[in-house]
Amino acid sequence: MEQLTDDQYVEKNGAVCPFCGSEILEWGSIEIEQRGATQEVSCMACGKCWMDRHELTGYWVVEKDDDYCSLRADGISHEDALAVLAGDMQKKHAYR
């Protein structure tokens, strides 16, 4: 496989190794920078490592009394809070 370009990698949502195409990836912690963040990614298939670049593109307004903020204040992860708000009843019952 030929190495993916940045555009091809983004088109695949960063969910494949840009070197071998494998989906067996491991992501490290996110390092916050001024206008974005970086995150180390490793391919478990070919052993290559690279850094994903995350860029600040805007913001999402959340009211203080919003259910999302209440869920996050209770220590619920971003993904789980969104699932609860989207109506995932199984998760909603686990947190109520």
Domain extent for 10: 6-55
Asked whether residue 1 is domain-assigned, the answer is no
Of 45 and 91, more confident? 45
pLDDT the model gives residue 57: 84
Could you tell me the pLDDT band of residue 91, with boundaries at 50, 70 and 90?
Answer: very low
Q: HSE-up of 86 (CA within 13 Å, CB side)?
A: 8
Question: Is the model's pTM score more than 0.85?
Answer: no
For the cut 90, the answer to whether the pLDDT of residue 44 exceeds it is: yes
Question: Is residue 69 situated within a structural domain?
Answer: yes
5 pLDDT tier (thresholds 50, 70, 90): very high
Same domain, 65 and 38: no
User: For residues 53 and 37, what is the distance between their CA atoms, to the nearest angstrom?
Assistant: 6
